[in-house]
A and B are shown apart, each in its own frame.
Chain A
Amino acid sequence: MSAIVETQGLTKVYGNVVALDKFTHRFEKSRIHALMGKNGSGKSTLVNVLAGVVQPTSGQMSLNGKDMHFSSPADALNANVVTVHQELSLVPELSVAENIYLGRMPKSHFLGISKIDWTSARTKTKILLEDMKLEIGPDAIISSLSVGQQQTVEIAKAMSFNPSLLLLDEPTSALASKEVEMLFRLLRRLRKQGTTMMYISHRMSELAEIADTVTVLRDGKHIGTVEMAETTNSDIVDMMFGNVAHNRPAERVSQADPNNAILKVQGLSRKPAYEDVSFELFKGEVLGIAGMLGAGRTEVLRSIFGADPFDSGEIIVDGQKIKDPDPQYMTEIGLGYTPENRKEVGLVQAHSIHNNLSMASLRQNAPLGIITKAAERPGVIKQVDNLHIKIDSAEDPVSSLSGGNQQKVVFGNWMNTNPKIMFFDEPSRGVDVQAKQQIFKIIWDQAEKGLSSIFVSTELEEMLEVCDRILIMREGRMIGELDPSQTTLTELYTACMEGL
């Protein structure tokens, strides 16, 4: 068997961060190669380099022995290297055929005028779909298809480029299990036809089913490659996390008062995002909700806060049943929510630091509807000092701050409302290591002062470090809880992936 993709010392440096460090490997032909690693390990960088999205700082790669130098994704497409990205890139209003041949519709000529040859477009699409044994018509409008069908159209589009290398970046993250089955049947058929694939996924159970080899990266380095059939899940997790996999987090005294459940959630459901979610949050507790991407963590928090509706279930705050939560009312009774995508919905980027720190507390500061900057200034100064927000002037736009400082502004905005309950959704995303530690310390300090909080993070190490108790969510259901002081990273990771 001849190697189809070879890399030699492939390196990508961003500023002073080495995202990919001398990656050297040979990916064999007609196989499905899983790429694994925690967030920031370099697997996406590797895929981006192979797909021509970014250019390597140094090192070579070759396809079937021929050197590859891609300066754009178009170059990669010309070399038959095709990528299916995590986010769907289809135009919802157009048909399957139009999407597959977007920008390169077959043309015919009539009296010297070039026009789209619809018959040919339909026929070619039909042949392509039948080849893949897909039961979708070429005229179906994308928005009328299920997400799973859309994902298969995405792969059909990729196939129309005749890929010799197909790169799949978390193709299943938006799919239900039946749709995953459909996708896997398709991938196996492609493998039989000789396509080489690289497959990024966080779902370990899927890998056992679909992958032939597993390549693990950590901190940009190639840790190792093993045959899927000859390895176990815990071996892979150990490779992913290295020495810390079995470390226990430092002991922290929990402030939780188990006799005082300040928030009770009973049987909360909103299908298909989550179902029958029940839990209690105690006063002073830092409660974690762990789970993989798409497990429903954010959706549950948003429903409790009233940002999204729910179908059924009960929310009880401080013994009082909440009928129809909306963010305004929940803010009033002492809840707060720092959203996961702070850039888009946590801040008004063009506005000043002062205004962003005073947004949630606006009505508290203006009982009669009248407000002055002077009345808000103590709160602004307090948060800038307490949270060590680095600023020149509070009148500067918040967009001029670094990610970590922006996150602190989001925190400060809520701290100014003197909340009883806080939901922290991915508070460490896009934040450097030092700011991360400061943010955790803020959460602990507030817990000591009686704040109850729910902490959600994709970084499982953080969950173990920060939380007093961790609930596990998987595919929209609450499947159990773990005591972080008695849990290793491998155990937590396995619980999130495969259940308890």
Chain B
Amino acid sequence: MQITQFFRRHPMEIILIVMFIFLVFAAPGFATVNNQLNVLRNITMQGIIAFGMTMIIVSGEIDLSIGSGVAFSGCVTAWITRELVDVTGPFFAITMGALTAMAILFGIGVLTGKLRQHFNMPTFITTLGLLTVLSGAANLITDGFPITSFPYEFNFLGSGYLFGIPFPVYIFITLFALVYFLMNYTSFGRSLYAVGGNLEAARLSGIDVWKTKTLALGLTGVFTAIAGVLIASQILSGSASAARGWELDVISAVIIGGTSLFGGKGTVRGTLIGVLFLGVIVNGMTLMNVSEYWQYVVRGGLIIGAVWMNHALDRKVKA
């Protein structure tokens, strides 16, 4: 009885574990420490953004621009580094670049929120436009060629190991903890749910609904910039073609994790499961030599299946 209850409440966890066990036996090389660390490193960048995206979607909005946002912030960081490195030295230049990228994407998130508040511009439309704008801006900065201004030491951020674990994983865990805290233990987090669950009821209860949504959009901008800097570090350059199409992977992870696209419902813990789920599947299929085209088909099918299951179980739990 309790086991069925647990299964109904945590279906994705169970499926993740079952799939994990399956891959241990079916996929050669899956169960090695190296491969597991590899999976972890591969999911960190998208995972970081998915945590922010969870806040946005719970508040009833969406951000489709993050793919270009990642590329843009990598390019901004690389460009500022190139301009400053001779004057200030690499450490300060890179720091300045990264902070500038975070500030710009935070500002763009806030602007998106303001457009929603004052002109009733759907974030779906604004961020769809921004997806193209930021991609264009990244190409303008780089003039079409990757900027390779980073010193080799910078590679540590994206590819280095600390105590045997890839460095980005620490950032991944820290940001997960931060978002978990924000969503569960702050009035901002509670407001996210209220605002996404019923905007007017939240407003009439004295909640600053626009500040809440705007802050979620701005914070996700910062997370996107962090992911952009990590990617730039991994490929040791600012490239306008990095992270193309990420928005769909990130939103998929959030949805697989049980967050409702209509807002008001979802957890960042679920998103973590969704991110792990996608990471493990992609890794497992690659190890099993499944063709890349088939991988797309399977991933897409899994997204539909996961959403269908969440809905079906939701109804059962209610009844």
B185 touches A362 (CB 8 A): no
Given contacts A362-B190, A366-B187, A371-B186, contact A348 B198 (CB under 8 A): yes
Alpha-carbon gap, A365 to B185, bound state (A): 11
Query: Which residue of B188, B203, B265 contacts A327 across the interface (Cβ within 8 Å)?
Result: B203
Is A119 in contact with chain B by the CB < 8 A criterion? Answer: no
Q: With an 8 A cutoff between CB atoms, is A83 at the interface?
A: no
The answer on a CB contact under 8 Å between B204 and A327 is: yes
Q: Is A359 within 8 A of B207, CB to CB?
A: yes
Q: Are A348 and B202 in contact (CB under 8 A)?
A: yes
Is residue B146 contacting chain A, with contact meaning CB distance below 8 A? no
- CB < 8 Å: which of B200, B202, B207, B264 contacts A344? B200
A76 at the interface (CB under 8 A from B): no
Residues B206 and A369 in contact, CB atoms below 8 Å apart: no
Size of B's binding interface in residues, CB under 8 A: 22
A interface size (C-beta, 8 A): 32
Contacting residues, chain B, for A146 (C-beta < 8 A): none
Contact A359 B201 (CB under 8 A): yes
One of A26-34, A256-264, A349-357 at the interface: A349-357
A349 touches B198 (CB 8 A): yes
**Can you name the residue of chain A whose Cβ is closest to the Cβ of B195?**
A348
Q: Mark B240-266, 1 if CB is under 8 A from A, else 0.
A: 000000000000000000000000110
A370 to B202, CA, bound (A): 18
Contact digits for B191-212, partner A, Cβ 8 Å, 1 yes 0 no: 1011001101111111110000
Tell me the residues in window 119-147 of chain A with beta carbons closer than 8 Å to chain B beta carbons. Answer: none
Question: A370–B186 contact, CB under 8 A?
Answer: yes
Bound form: Cα–Cα A337–B206 in Å: 10
* Chain B facing A: main interface SS: helix
Q: Which residues of A contact B188 (CB under 8 A)?
A: 369
- Of A327, A344, A348, A371, which one neighbours B194 at CB under 8 angstroms? A348
Contacting pair A307 B190 (CB below 8 A): no
Bound complex: CA A95 to CA B63 (Å): 37
Residue of B nearest to A400 (CB): B318
Residue A202 at the chain B interface, CB threshold 8 Å: no
Q: Are A366 and B186 in contact, CB atoms less than 8 angstroms apart?
A: yes
Let me know if B206 and A360 touch, CB within 8 A. yes
Bound-state CA distance A358–B205 (Å) is: 10
**A67 interface residue, CB < 8 Å from B?**
no
Q: Decide yes or no whether A346 CB sits under 8 A from chain B.
A: yes
Complex CA gap A355/B192 in Å reads 12
The answer to whether A371 and B207 touch (CB under 8 A), given A345-B198, A348-B202, A350-B197, is: no
Contact A371 B190 (CB under 8 A): yes
Known: A328-B206, A350-B264. A370 touches B185 (CB 8 A): yes
A339 within 8 A of B: yes
CA–CA, A487 to B218, complex, Å?
58
A331→B185 contact, CB < 8 A: no
Judged by a CB distance under 8 angstroms, whether A16 is at the interface is: no
Q: Are A351 and B194 in contact (CB under 8 A)?
A: yes
Known A350-B264, A370-B186, A371-B185; contact A332-B206, beta-carbon cutoff 8 A: yes
- Cross-chain contact of B187 among A337, A344, A348, A369 (Cβ < 8 A): A369
Contact A348 B264 (CB under 8 A): yes
By the criterion CB–CB under 8 Å, are B208 and A346 in contact? no
Interface flag for A372 (CB, 8 Å): yes
With CB as the reference atom, state the residue of chain B lying closest to A347.
B201
* Residues on A with beta carbons closer than 8 Å to the beta carbon of B206: 327-328, 330-332, 360, 363, 417
- In angstroms, how far is the closest chain A Cβ from the Cβ of B185? 6
Determine if A413 is an interface residue (Cβ-Cβ < 8 Å).
yes
Bound-state Cα–Cα, A363 to B190, Å? 10
A352-393 interface code vs B (CB 8 A; 1 in, 0 out): 000100111011011001111000000000000000000000
Which residue on B lies nearest to A341, using beta carbons?
A: B200
CA distance A482 to B203 in the complex (A): 34
How far apart sit A413 and B206, CA to CA, in the bound complex (Å)?
11
Residue numbers in B under 8 Å from A397 (CB-CB): 318
CA A437 to CA B99, docked complex, whole Å: 60
Task: Give chain A residues whose Cβ lies under 8 Å from the Cβ of B186.
Answer: 366, 369-371
Q: Is the Cβ of B187 less than 8 Å from the Cβ of A350?
A: no
Chain A's closest residue to B189 (CB) is: A371
Which one of A331, A363, A365 has the highest number of Cβ atoms from chain B below 10 Å of its Cβ? Answer: A363
> What is the distance, in angstroms, from B8's C-beta to the closest C-beta of chain A?
15
Query: Does A351 contact B204, Cβ atoms closer than 8 Å?
Result: no
Q: Give every chain B residue within 8 A of A327 (Cβ-Cβ).
A: 203-206
Roughly how many angstroms separate A372 CA and B186 CA in the complex, as a whole number? 8
Tell me if A355 and B205 are in contact (CB < 8 A).
Answer: no
Residues in B neighbouring A348, C-beta threshold 8 A:
193-194, 197-198, 201-202, 264
Instruction: Determine how close the nearest CB of chain A comes to the CB of B71; give it in whole angstroms.
Output: 33
In the assembled complex, how far is the CB of residue B260 from the closest CB belonging to chain A, in whole angstroms?
9
Mask for A299-322, Cβ within 8 A of B = 1, else 0?
Answer: 000000101000000000000000
Max chain A C-beta neighbours (<10 A), residue from B187, B200, B205: B205
Q: Which residues of B are interface residues toward A (Cβ below 8 A)?
A: 185-188, 190-191, 193-194, 197-198, 200-208, 264-265, 318
Q: List 27 A-B contacts (CB under 8 A).
A: A307-B204, A327-B203, A328-B208, A331-B205, A337-B204, A344-B198, A344-B201, A345-B201, A346-B204, A348-B201, A348-B202, A349-B197, A350-B264, A351-B264, A359-B202, A362-B187, A362-B190, A362-B191, A363-B187, A365-B187, A366-B186, A369-B187, A371-B186, A371-B187, A371-B190, A372-B185, A397-B318
The 8 closest A-B pairs by CB, nearest first: A331-B206, A348-B197, A366-B187, A360-B205, A345-B200, A359-B205, A348-B198, A328-B206
